[in-house]
Amino acid sequence: MTQWTEEVDPVNGDFRVQLRVEKVLFERQTPHQHILLIENRTYGRVLLFDGVAQVAENDEFIYHEMLSHVPVLAHGAVRRVLVVGGGDGGAIEELFKHPGIEHVDLVEIDEAVVEMSKAHFRSVCGEAFEDPRLRLTIGDGVEYVAACADTYDLIMVDSKDPTGETNVLYSEPFYRNCRKCMTPGGVLVTQNALPFFDRDWLGKPLARLRKMFADVGCYQVAVPSFYGGFMAFGWACDDPAVRQVPEATLAERYSTAAPETRYYTPAIHRAAFALPPYVSGMLA
């Protein structure tokens, strides 16, 4: 008998999609969410939280490369990074391709996600969890940032989609606490959902970020397993010049760092910030 997952858009609930399940590799109900890892012929291994796809083995490189390399290469001198969420390890695996990065703090609320990734998702995380530059904290990212005395050149929020006004990882207090943990010229990048489906949500977090950062915007990337078109990443920095780094400078930094990428290029980096009017209008 064919088994299927049913995925419902978590923000507005108006969209459903099914994935054929070839095999269930991991399933657990934790205090935070239902975790399911399946095999699918098109996407490979697919991680779902509460029935919603989060990471697909065969296209995760698109999401994680753009989440990580865009801010690192735009900044040009990232040494210390904080990642909130991202327990699958895909983001830190990309970060550790940069030899200039000296330290990464990863704060993941659900230890089972890390356990699952180490056991079944090495194609995504590689050996990132064994990298000596990593300090893994199992805990609440909001509480961690509120109490944090360290500073970072880059903060990445690799979270689930926003599911309501109470989602604290999209709240003004959380952003303010992130701001106090950042070095001058530091960059904050956030997962900011799908503009076409989540039209009410794209502008709200960015409006909150504008209260504390000089330069706020977003860039886009299309990830096939995230149904609904382009995904937006929120961008915030004190220095507007960081977002406007010329392609030639990005190319030089890319060549020096020499990260192996399958999607990211300096040209795609610059193009990702070119927004169609229907998206830029949501930011006004």
Is 158 among the residues known to form the active site?
yes
Which CB contacts under 8 angstroms, 24+ apart, belong to 34-42? 35/110, 35/112, 35/113, 35/116, 36/5, 37/116, 37/120, 37/121, 38/5
Catalytic annotation, pick one of 88, 158, 161, 198 = 158
Cβ–Cβ under 8 Å, residues 108 and 114: yes
Q: 3-state class of 12 per DSSP? A: coil
Closest CA to 243 of 211, 284, 275: 275
Cβ–Cβ under 8 Å, residues 183 and 152: yes
* Rounded-to-integer distance, Cα 97 and Cα 249, Å: 19
Structure tokens at 46: 């697919």
Q: CB within 8 A of 134, min separation 6: which ones? A: 92, 96, 104, 106, 128
Amino acid at 138: I
- Catalytic sites, residue numbers: 158
